[in-house]
A = this chain, B = another copy of it.
Amino acid sequence: MAIKRRVPKFRRTTPQVRREALIDATLRCLKRYGHEGVSVRRISAAAGVSIGLINHHFPSKSGLVAVTYETLALSLQESIRAQAENRAVSPRDRLSGFFRASFAPEILDPQLFNVWLVFWSMVAHSPEIRAVHDRTYGKYRSILESLLGQLAVSGEAPKFKLRPAAIALSALLDGLWVELSLSPATFKPREAIALCDDWVNGLCNGAFPRLLARRTVKSRPSPRPRTHH
């Protein structure tokens, strides 16, 4: 005769713990189903809780997504930054490490890209998502500015304007990441890393005069006019 012991239908936890679990489930759903994954039913099922619990812990669905966005963005940033400073010493090598980490398989995961697309597509209509985007993207650029700044301090590069340099580099990184995520067969992560390294090498060798100038250089292109015919 087995001893009868009441087995509870569910378990209570701290709101904080539950919130984290829901954020985790949201991330898993977004990865697997993309846009279709942003559904209270799917998310609650993935978290193993009932439908109503989401609106008990979060103001709305988009509130949950916003928190998930911020969590994931900061987590990835920290991961890449840490990876970059792992075994590197000189600022130049730190940047290379940053590039390598940016195109590591875990970051290039097409599923992760689809998650990002969901976030981006909500920026236009949800103020809270927009706030998260602005915040995290600002921090991302400031990380790049910091790494680039060390480059100038160490003398590996001439002095240059940090802000536009960081903008260009982050754009290059993002553009390569987008294209690699959309069609991985077009080129290889190695090439993406090389192209980023090339850009920094150019910066170090003073190939971008407009980034060096104290004030804006007079007019547009061709700093070395090749009079030809």
A interface with B by C-beta (< 8 Å): 34-35, 92-93, 96, 110-111, 114, 117-118, 120-121, 123-125, 130, 133-134, 137, 154-156, 163-164, 167-168, 170-176, 178-179, 182-183, 186-187, 191-192, 194-195, 197-202, 204-205, 207-211, 220-224, 226, 228
Contacts and interface: CB of A to CB of B under 8 A. Distances in A.
Contact of A202 (B93, B202, B226): B202
A121 B125 contact: no
A171 B175 CA distance: 4
Contact of A178 (B130, B174, B195, B199): B174
A155 B118 CA distance: 45
A121 B202 CA distance: 34
List the number of copies, as a whole number. 2
Contacts of A175: 170-176, 178
Nearest to A176: B171
B114 A155 contact: no
Contacts of A192: 171
A93 B92 CA distance: 33
A172 B172 contact: yes
Nearest to A191: B164
B195 A168 contact: yes
Contacts of A125: 34
A121 to B, nearest CB: 4
B124 A110 contact: yes
A210 B183 contact: no
A1 to B, nearest CB: 54
25 contacts: A35-B121, A96-B221, A110-B124, A111-B124, A117-B117, A117-B120, A137-B183, A156-B226, A164-B195, A167-B176, A168-B198, A170-B175, A171-B171, A171-B172, A171-B179, A173-B175, A174-B175, A175-B175, A175-B176, A194-B210, A197-B221, A198-B211, A201-B224, A202-B202, A202-B208
